[in-house]
């Protein structure tokens, strides 16, 4: 089935294990970013973690379900790729160990903290729970993108010369703060008493200036005692001078302003006209932020970044990819995989009742029945992108028609009636895909594993 036009993305319906095996045929080492939000498990006391679906699973099941999937996911990632995994407080430590095992501890980047609920859950037993985690691992050598941010009025917490301001020490600190590092930035300036003042490094040695003090007029220099009670010069930065300007910053590990669960609930409600169809979607802003720091717009389609989410749920990752493409003119492509879990509110399954409906609506501006009366359209324009929807089917290997049943066009192959070539391709690709997981060199080495045919 194909929906819409524009960039073409993919939605695969079915269990993500066979889906990942299939993706390995065409996408090995081609995925730039993987974001996953798996079902959270039970804790060790057997109490069910709150999930939005009926078959909440034990922690053992969660870890053993994730393990083989992460092994496949790792093979799909580009060397400069990155994987993000949302996880709650109860399971974070266990899932992190699993990630250390699969991706290697040296590839751990951060446990990001997402503020899920401002003010926290007042019905929590001990603390008012406010956060969840997002684990971040690189495949090998990921480069994070810096982001730009407007100066924030709250950071200007002083009043100097009657204006909101902040101050920064003029003596250099951190790296390259010694006189020998930057000899031309070591010289005296006059202190308020007319005495020579030389810069001192944090370790007490001769230091250097962060910027040339003589480039600043009196209004932009402020003398005050530092933590060692030395009268020291500071640069004064006034909010009025910075208002509306942007600065380049490193992303902080605390995510406090990229949407909350209240925002994501509203987002889904506006697409489904206030019908509650999915309990725990993630906010679009949150995923968009992860994509901003990890992908490029790739104007050239041949180099487009591909984003994979194999626990796609309501399809937020797809929605965020399209929104970011719209903002920066990018050509990112998404691949979503989600099973068709049936719940009371989704009798046809999440994939059909929620994921594909949400994507169809925001891509084309109309529902499957042709109507277009959903609230989201009041404030948003449809993205106009296309979606290929496929469903994973189990084929019995003893079927005589197995070779006919596999549609090679789904993998961009066309054997045009040459069944011998098709059989060769199926035997090599599908079998290799399965065997490669088992014969992964690292796995073999770690476990002393010997393949049947090597015994
Ligand atoms: C926590 S939800 C993801 C929510 C998603 N991030 C969003 O914003 O809507 C996890 C989803 O993964 C699906 N799922 C669970 N196990 C799966 C599996 N083995 N294969 C594919 N999907 C699965 C569940 O049906 C559920 O919809």
Q: In this predicted structure, what is the pLDDT of residue 47?
A: 44
Q: In this predicted structure, what is the pLDDT of residue 397?
A: 63
275-288: pLDDT as tens digits: 999 988 999 999 99
Whether residues 224 and 340 share a domain: the answer is no
377-410: pLDDT as tens digits: 999 999 999 999 999 877 666 656 777 778 888 8
Which domain CATH number covers 323?
3.40.50.150
What are the start-end ranges of the E strands in 38-76?
none
**Strand-pair partners of 87:** 133
Q: What residue ranges line ligand 1, CB within 6 angstroms?
A: 15-16, 37, 39, 53, 280-282, 311, 313-314, 316, 337-339, 341, 350
pLDDT at 442 over 70: no
HEC secondary structure over 153-188: HHHCCEEECCEEEEEEECECCCCCCECCCCHHHCCC
Atom of ligand 1 at shortest range from CA of 264: 8
Q: In this predicted structure, what is the pLDDT of residue 452?
A: 44
Q: In this predicted structure, what is the pLDDT of residue 45?
A: 42
- CA of 15 from ligand 1 middle (Å) equals 10
- Categorise residue 316: left if φ over 0, alpha if ψ from -120 to 50, beta otherwise: alpha
Whether residues 428 and 280 share a domain: the answer is no
Whether residues 324 and 224 share a domain: the answer is no
The full DSSP string for 1-28 is -EE-SSSEEEEEES-HHHHHHHHHHHHT
Domain that holds residue 171: 151-247
Asked if 148 contacts 246 with a C-beta cutoff of 8 angstroms, the reply is yes
Report residue 121's pLDDT band, with 50, 70 and 90 as the boundaries: confident
Atom of ligand 1 at shortest range from CA of 316: 8
- CA of 25 from ligand 1 middle (Å) equals 23
Report residue 425's pLDDT band, with 50, 70 and 90 as the boundaries: confident
End residue of a domain, out of 364, 391, 418: 391
Whether residues 284 and 296 share a domain: the answer is yes
**Is 115 inside any structural domain?**
yes
| d(C-alpha 362, C-alpha 360), whole Å | 6
Whether residues 273 and 302 share a domain: the answer is yes
- CA of 451 from ligand 1 middle (Å) equals 33
**Is 374 inside any structural domain?**
yes
Whether residues 203 and 76 share a domain: the answer is no
What does the CA dihedral 136, 141, 143, 144 come to, rounded to 10 degrees? Answer: 10
**Percent of the chain at pLDDT exceeding 70:** 87
Whether residues 76 and 167 share a domain: the answer is no
- CA of 355 from ligand 1 middle (Å) equals 10
Whether residues 88 and 173 share a domain: the answer is no
**Is 422 inside any structural domain?**
yes
- CA of 263 from ligand 1 middle (Å) equals 19
**Is 396 inside any structural domain?**
no
Atom of ligand 1 at shortest range from CA of 69: 19
Kind of pairing, strands 31-36 and 231-238?
A: unpaired
Q: In this predicted structure, what is the pLDDT of residue 383?
A: 96
Asked if 73 contacts 20 with a C-beta cutoff of 8 angstroms, the reply is yes
Q: What is the mean pLDDT of residues 407-436?
A: 74
55-102: pLDDT as tens digits: 456 677 788 889 999 999 999 999 999 999 999 998 899 999 999 999
Whether residues 106 and 201 share a domain: the answer is no
Q: What is the mean pLDDT of residues 196-209?
A: 95
Total of domains in the chain? 3
- Pick the residue whose CA is nearest to atom 27 on ligand 1: 313
End residue of a domain, out of 201, 223, 247: 247
Whether residues 193 and 305 share a domain: the answer is no
290-337: pLDDT as tens digits: 999 999 997 766 679 999 999 999 999 999 999 999 999 999 999 999
- CA of 12 from ligand 1 middle (Å) equals 12
pTM of the complete model = 0.80
Whether residues 116 and 260 share a domain: the answer is yes
**Percent of the chain at pLDDT exceeding 90:** 66
Most ligand 1 atoms within 8 A of CB, residue of 17, 313, 346 to mutate:
313
- Quote the mean pLDDT of the chain: 87
Q: How many residues make up the chain in this entry?
A: 455
**Is 296 inside any structural domain?**
yes
- Pick the residue whose CA is nearest to atom 11 on ligand 1: 313
Most ligand 1 atoms within 8 A of CB, residue of 11, 13, 34, 39 to mutate:
39
- Most confident region among 32-46, 135-149, 394-408 by mean pLDDT: 135-149
Atom of ligand 1 at shortest range from CA of 35: 6
Q: What is the mean pLDDT of residues 185-201?
A: 94
- CA of 368 from ligand 1 middle (Å) equals 23
- CA of 75 from ligand 1 middle (Å) equals 21
- Pick the residue whose CA is nearest to atom 5 on ligand 1: 313
**Is 397 inside any structural domain?**
no
**Is 43 inside any structural domain?**
yes
Asked if 384 contacts 390 with a C-beta cutoff of 8 angstroms, the reply is no
Atom of ligand 1 at shortest range from CA of 282: 8
Q: In this predicted structure, what is the pLDDT of residue 6?
A: 65
Atom of ligand 1 at shortest range from CA of 315: 9
End residue of a domain, out of 187, 213, 247: 247
Cβ atoms within 10 Å, residue 22: 20
Whether residues 318 and 220 share a domain: the answer is no
């Amino acid at each position: 089935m194909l929906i819409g036009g524009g960039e073409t993305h993919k939605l695969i319906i079915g269990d993500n294990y066979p889906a990942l095996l299939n993706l390995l045929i065409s996408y090995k080492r081609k995925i730039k970013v993987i974001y996953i939000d798996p079902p959270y498990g039970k804790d060790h006391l057997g109490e069910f973690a709150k999930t939005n679906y009926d078959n909440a699973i034990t922690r053992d099941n969660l870890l053993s379900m994730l393990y083989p999937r992460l092994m496949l996911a790792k093979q799909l990632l580009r060397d400069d790729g990155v994987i993000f995994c949302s996880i709650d407080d109860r399971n974070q430590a266990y899932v992190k160990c699993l990630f250390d095992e699969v991706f290697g501890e040296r590839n751990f980047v951060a446990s990001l903290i997402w503020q899920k609920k401002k003010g926290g859950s007042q019905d929590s037993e001990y603390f008012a729970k406010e956060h969840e985690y997002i684990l971040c691992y690189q495949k090998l050598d990921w480069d994070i993108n810096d982001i730009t941010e407007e100066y924030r009025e709250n950071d200007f917490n002083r009043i100097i010369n009657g204006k909101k301001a902040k101050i920064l020490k003029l003596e250099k600190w951190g790296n390259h703060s010694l006189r020998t590092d930057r000899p031309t930035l070591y010289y005296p300036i006059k202190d308020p008493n007319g005495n020579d003042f030389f810069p001192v490094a944090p370790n007490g040695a001769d230091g250097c200036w962060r910027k040339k003090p003589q480039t600043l007029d009196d209004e932009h220099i402020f003398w005050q005692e530092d933590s060692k009670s030395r009268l020291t010069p500071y640069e004064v930065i006034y909010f009025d001078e910075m208002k509306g300007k942007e600065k380049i910053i490193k992303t902080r590990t605390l995510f406090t302003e990229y949407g909350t669960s209240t925002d994501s609930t509203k987002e889904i409600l506006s697409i489904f006209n206030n019908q509650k169809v999915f309990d725990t979607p993630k906010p679009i802003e949150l995923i968009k932020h992860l994509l901003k720091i990890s992908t490029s717009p790739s104007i050239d389609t041949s180099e487009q970044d591909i984003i994979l989410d194999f626990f796609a749920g309501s399809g937020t990752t797809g929605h965020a990819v399209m929104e970011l493409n719209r903002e920066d003119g990018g050509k990112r492509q998404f691949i979503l995989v989600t099973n068709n879990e049936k719940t009371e509110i989704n009798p046809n399954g999440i994939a059909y009742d929620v994921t594909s409906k949400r994507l169809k609506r925001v891509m084309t501006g109309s529902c499957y029945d042709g109507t277009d009366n959903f609230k989201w359209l009041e404030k948003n324009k449809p993205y106009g992108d296309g979606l290929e929807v496929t469903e994973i089917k189990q084929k019995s290997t003893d079927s005589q028609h197995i070779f006919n049943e596999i549609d090679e066009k789904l993998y961009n192959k066309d054997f045009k009636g040459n069944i011998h070539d098709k059989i060769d391709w199926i035997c090599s690709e599908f079998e290799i895909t399965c065997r490669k997981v088992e014969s992964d060199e690292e796995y073999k080495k770690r476990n002393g594993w010997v393949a049947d045919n090597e015994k």
